[in-house]
Amino acid sequence: MKKLLSVLAGVAICSSSLTSVVACSVRKELMTVLVNGDEDTNTTDYDTNFRKGMLADGVYQLMNAVTYTPSKYQNAEKRAAFEKVLGESGQALSISKVFDNKPDKTDDEKEFWASYWAARNTNFRTFSFADSNIGTYKLKDVKPFLQTIVVDASGDETKTTYEEITVSDKTIGDYTSDDETKSLFDGFKFDDIKMLGFKPETLTNVVPEPEEPESDDALAIKEFTDELAINHKENNELNLKTLYYSKTSTNSFDLTFNDPGEKNDEKNFNINYSISAGMIIRWNIGRVTLSADTENKVTTSKYAYWFEPTKYQFSVQEVSDQGTEDMFRGIDSNPEEINVTIKRS
């Protein structure tokens, strides 16, 4: 395998399958994304209004790390930049580094290693998240936050007043089934969302005490366990520089690898990764305008806010997207904390 993940660079991540990591770019296979090895996994069940391909996105991040070798990048500058993205923890997931750190290899591991670097069309075929802890977030049952914002442009300077945030007595389902308000939510889907490694069924919306940020650039980090608490300042303005997250129990994944062989001597391997820390789920805030009226240059708008999961990632230090440095910092880079088993099937 020479270029490893390079074929994934332009992949759309909204489908159940990813273009597979291939050896020589001879022929592209599909890499199927599963949960607990279930062939009937419907990955769109995990999608939200803010992210299509939630599971595939997590796979993309992990496979970038698993298949990394310095030889992927002939350009030293690009190699150094990508290593910064992975960080020490991401590079520790590299299957090449895992092998380097193994003094004794089993016969199956030696066979896999030979197939992995063979100059033929070898492929990772499936990626399966291994976690039986699957939750369901019922968006229609969520009671959104409500807030009225008044923008007064009648004077020399525009003044904005943020009224107190409250939790609605109605659910999103109530709003979307009411003839007077359902059109306001057009463009959003409120289907149940499956969540990997987290049970959101008991989450409730609460309005916490206000909290002023340390600075305009400071990122507030809030963990959700039992409550979804919207972060706001003393003047009731939402603090948009907030990373909301929940920990998951997902810290293991399985791969299958296929080597068609040279003379019909096909080989298949099962690979299991167990890492020190689970992924996290990042949450995002949705908003619709329930009403907006303007009189004498004073606009009064009423908004509804709600939370939805938006990304699986491996760091709670920042909003982790492709290109973020050290995006796997939540994982221990100690080789003893990364357990990989390979068996021929």
71 HSE (CA, 13 A, CB side): 8
- From CA 141, how far away is CA 168, in angstroms rounded? 12
> E strand or H helix at 93, and its extent?
none
Gap between the terminal Cα atoms of the chain = 20
SS3 label, residue 84: helix
* pLDDT at residue number 330: 79
The rounded mean pLDDT for the chain is: 87
153-172: burial string, b at 16+ Cβ within 10 Å, e else = eeeeeeeeebeebebbeebb
* pLDDT at residue number 334: 73
- Below-70 pLDDT ranges, the chain: 1-29, 317-323, 333, 335-336
- For 174-232, how does the pLDDT look when each residue is reduced to its tens digit (9 = 90+)? 999 999 999 999 999 999 999 999 999 989 999 999 999 988 888 899 999 999 999 99
* pLDDT at residue number 28: 54
What would the two tokens of residue 252 be?
């293991």
For 242-278, the DSSP string reads EEEEEE-S--EEEEEEEE--SSS--EEEEEEEE-SS-
Q: Is the distance from CB of 292 to CB of 299 less than 8 angstroms?
A: yes
Residue 127 neighbours by CB distance under 10 Å: 26
How many residues in total does the chain contain? 345
SS3 label, residue 289: strand
Q: Is the distance from CB of 11 to CB of 23 less than 8 angstroms?
A: no
Which residues make Cβ contacts (< 8 Å) with residue 343, sequence separation at least 6? 108, 269, 270
**Strands 145-152 and 159-162, how do they pair?**
antiparallel
* pLDDT at residue number 29: 63
- From CA 241, how far away is CA 256, in angstroms rounded? 40
* pLDDT at residue number 343: 96
Which residues make Cβ contacts (< 8 Å) with residue 157, sequence separation at least 6? none
- From CA 109, how far away is CA 155, in angstroms rounded? 74
* pLDDT at residue number 75: 86
* pLDDT at residue number 23: 37
- From CA 6, how far away is CA 68, in angstroms rounded? 10
CA 205, 144, 236, 231 torsion: positive or negative?
positive
- From CA 115, how far away is CA 118, in angstroms rounded? 5
Can you give the residue ranges of every domain in the chain?
4-132+250-278+322-344, 139-191+199-247+280-312
SS3 label, residue 292: strand
- From CA 326, how far away is CA 324, in angstroms rounded? 7
The residue behind tokens 């993940």 is 5
* pLDDT at residue number 21: 42
CA 120, 126, 131, 137 torsion: positive or negative?
positive
* pLDDT at residue number 30: 76
Q: Is the distance from CB of 127 to CB of 31 less than 8 angstroms?
A: yes
SS3 label, residue 66: helix
* pLDDT at residue number 321: 59
